[in-house]
């Protein structure tokens, strides 16, 4: 169906990304998956092509085009080639917006050129072993001591944490028994700060090309100059930025569902059973027709929300609806597609198996489907 999201500039950008993915990503992807991480060199290559600094203001080495549609194109083109660029996506779609919105001038000068060039890799650490969905329950503490905060705590499930040079850590700087959301602060922890250590690289069932790690903070002295935004304001900042993070998951979900459909159409036209192609069975046609219709419904909803996001008008509840619908659609679609591969669909060498295992996370991270329903229900006055 006709999409009304992109303009000529986005399509030019798409060509550049498509070429990059085909030449630099696809041939190396299996070895990166085996290593369990995207190498630093990918960020530097993307940076040198200008793909990481689109939203970074020109005076710091970026393009000054803060337009989320470029991020959408990047994900769509990766999915189209049956790969994902998870840690790049986290840096661009999730972490960079915090820097853009809350960094002061000195921080902009220190960090923005490296973010645009791909020399500085980032992560964001909200989740703790004891708290994920309930972010107001964060227990890591940061106690002011002169010109620094002394940070203690543990974070888990941190995407890109293994190579990150800068980690935005959400920590508690004060406690208000009347308001659990008050007193959270964003601190930028730098690689090499004494007391900052990386723990296990967690072994996952899918999205193997991105690292997910535990981080520990033991009396880390984080200069006050590394605080992002105001002390105690982090919950408000998260509320402002999490809708884009959720959209990003939805963008990947729809693009990967589409990739699954295309891979399946190609497969069923080739595979013969009972002397005819799998495509010739009415069940196959009906299954794929239903998947195609679901993808278009999700795409239309998503595109509407992308435009709202670009206009600065996307509400948290609408982002939650989009994440809920698109990720659940992806799960149904990928499962139906895999079924049509028969036993081959269960084999890791077939991309549909990877699309299936990669899909499972989208209903969990950036807020689970249940948390999305809680947010939507609240908007209904329930
Ligand atoms: C691969 C991966 C990458 C991640 N990357 C990052 C990252 O980079 N940075 C980061 O900070 N975090 C990251 N996360 C953490 C992720 O956002 C959390 O796992 C997620 O928010 C859920 O939190 P939890 O795992 O603690 O589950 P829990 O909060 O323990 O939830 C357990 C179950 O309870 C349900 N539940 C919770 N609250 C309610 C409710 N009110 N009503 C009904 N049901 C409820 C949940 O939906 C879930 O089914 C990542 C996680 C994974 C797995």
Q: pLDDT for 264-295, tens place per residue?
A: 999 999 999 999 999 999 999 999 999 999 99
Does residue 198 lie in a domain region? yes
Q: Is residue 3 part of a domain?
A: no
CATH classification of the domain holding 98? 1.10.540.10
Task: Compute the distance between CA of residue 248 and CA of residue 322 in angstroms, rounded to an integer.
Answer: 10
| Packed helices 234-270 and 68-80: angle between N→C axes, nearest 10 degrees | 30
Q: DSSP assignment, residue 278?
A: G
C-beta 133 within 6 A of ligand 1 = yes
Among 125, 133, 237, 366, which is best to mutate for testing ligand 1, by the most ligand atoms less than 8 A from CB?
133
Number of domains into which the chain is organized: 3
Are 109 and 127 contained in the same domain?
no
Q: How far is the CA of 272 from the centre of ligand 1 (A)?
A: 42
Are 256 and 352 members of one domain?
yes
Give yes or no for residue 350 CB within 6 A of ligand 1: no
Q: Are both 130 and 113 inside the same structural domain? A: no
- Asked if the structure places residue 262 within a domain, the reply is yes
Question: Which pLDDT score, from 0 to 100, does residue 38 have?
Answer: 95
Active site residues: 245
Model pLDDT for residues 28-79, shown as the tens digit of each residue: 999 999 999 999 999 999 999 999 999 999 999 999 999 999 999 999 999 9
Question: In whole angstroms, how large is the CA radius of gyration of the chain?
Answer: 21
Q: Are residues 73 and 112 in the same domain?
A: yes
Last residue of a domain, one of 186, 210, 232: 232
Average pLDDT over residues 11-23: 97
| pLDDT tens-digit series, residues 170-195 | 999 999 999 999 999 999 999 999 99
Task: Write out the E strands in the chain.
Answer: 122-125, 141-145, 148-159, 166-172, 184-190, 196-201, 212-223, 227-228, 272-273, 276-277
pLDDT at 107: 98
Mean pLDDT in residue range 91-99: 97
- Does residue 209 line the site of ligand 1, with CB under 6 A? no
User: Closest ligand 1 atom to the C-alpha of 131?
Assistant: 26
- Domain identity same for 192 and 127: yes
170 Cβ inside 6 Å of ligand 1: no
Of 186, 211, 232, which closes a domain?
A: 232
- Minimal-distance CA residue to ligand 1 atom 14: 157
Domain assignment present for 228: yes
> Are 300 and 354 members of one domain?
yes
User: What is the residue range of 350's domain?
Assistant: 236-379
User: Looking at the structure, do residues 294 and 370 belong to the same domain, yes or no?
Assistant: yes
pLDDT at 218: 98
127 and 105 in a common domain: no
SS3 content of the chain, % helix, strand, coil (to 5): 55, 15, 30
- Any domain includes 2: no
pTM for the whole thing? Answer: 0.98
Tens of pLDDT, residues 193-206: 999 999 999 999 99
Q: Does 96 share its domain with 153?
A: no
Which one of 87, 119, 151 terminates a domain?
A: 119
Q: Do 360 and 331 meet the contact criterion of CB atoms below 8 Å apart? A: yes
Residue 1 lies in a domain: no
Ligand 1 pocket check: which of 248, 368, 372, 373 to mutate, most ligand atoms within 8 Å of Cβ?
368
Ligand 1 test: best mutation among 136, 154, 324, 365, most atoms within 8 Å of CB?
A: 365
Q: Are residues 270 and 372 in the same domain?
A: yes
C-alpha to C-alpha distance for 376 and 379, rounded to whole angstroms: 5
- Check residue 89 and give its pLDDT: 96
**CA distance from start to end of the chain:** 35
298-338: per-residue pLDDT in tens?
A: 999 999 999 999 999 999 999 999 999 999 999 999 999 99
Minimum CA distance residue for ligand 1 atom 45: 370
pLDDT at 216: 98
The verdict on residue 115 lying in a domain is: yes
Residue nearest to atom 31 of ligand 1 (CA): 133
- Whether residues 330 and 346 share a domain: the answer is yes
- Looking at residue 314, which CATH number applies to its domain? 1.20.140.10
For residue 252, with 0-12 CB atoms within 10 Å meaning exposed, 13-18 middle and 19 or more buried, which class applies? buried
Q: Is residue 363 part of a domain?
A: yes
Write the CATH number for 152: 2.40.110.10
Nearest CA to ligand 1 atom 2: 157
Q: Let me know whether 244 and 357 are in one domain.
A: yes
Q: Given this model, what pLDDT does residue 372 score?
A: 98
Q: Per-residue pLDDT tens for 115-147? A: 999 999 999 999 999 999 999 999 999 999 999
Residue 264 tokens, joined = 């399946």
């Amino acid at each position: 169906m006709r999409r009304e999201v992109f303009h000529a500039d986005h399509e030019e950008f798409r060509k550049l990304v498509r070429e990059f993915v085909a030449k630099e990503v696809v041939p190396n992807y299996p070895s990166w998956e085996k290593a369990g991480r995207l190498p630093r060199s990918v960020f530097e290559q993307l940076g040198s092509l200008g793909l990481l600094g689109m939203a970074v203001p020109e005076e710091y080495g970026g393009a000054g085009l803060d337009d989320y549609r470029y991020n959408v194109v990047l994900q769509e083109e990766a999915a189209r080639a049956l790969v994902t660029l998870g840690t790049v996506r986290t840096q661009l779609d999730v972490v960079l917006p915090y820097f853009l919105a809350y960094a002061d001038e000195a921080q902009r000068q220190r960090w923005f050129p490296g973010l645009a060039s791909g020399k500085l890799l980032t992560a964001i650490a909200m989740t703790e072993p004891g708290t994920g969905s309930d972010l107001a329950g964060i227990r890591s503490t940061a106690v002011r001591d002169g010109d620094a905060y002394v940070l203690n705590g543990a974070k888990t499930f941190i995407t890109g944490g293994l190579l990150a040079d800068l980690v935005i850590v959400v920590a508690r700087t004060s406690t208000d028994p009347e308001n659990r959301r008050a007193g959270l602060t964003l601190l930028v922890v730098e690689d090499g700060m004494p007391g900052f250590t990386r723990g296990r690289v967690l072994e996952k069932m899918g999205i193997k090309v991105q690292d997910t790690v535990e981080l520990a903070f033991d009396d880390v002295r984080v200069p006050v100059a590394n605080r992002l935004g105001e002390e105690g304001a982090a919950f408000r900042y998260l509320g402002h930025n999490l809708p884009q993070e959720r959209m990003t998951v939805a963008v990947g979900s729809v693009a990967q569902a589409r990739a699954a459909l295309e891979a399946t159409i190609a497969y069923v036209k080739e595979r013969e059973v009972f002397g005819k192609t799998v495509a010739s069975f009415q069940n196959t046609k009906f299954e794929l027709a239903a998947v195609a219709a679901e993808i278009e419904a999700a795409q239309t909803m998503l595109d509407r929300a992308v435009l709202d996001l670009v206009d600065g008008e996307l509400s948290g509840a609408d982002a939650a609806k989009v994440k809920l619908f698109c990720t659940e659609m992806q799960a149904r679609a990928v499962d139906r597609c895999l079924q049509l591969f028969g036993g081959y669909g269960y084999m890791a060498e077939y991309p549909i198996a990877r699309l299936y295992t990669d899909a499972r996370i989208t209903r969990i991270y950036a807020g689970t489907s249940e948390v999305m329903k809680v947010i939507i229900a609240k908007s209904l006055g329930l």
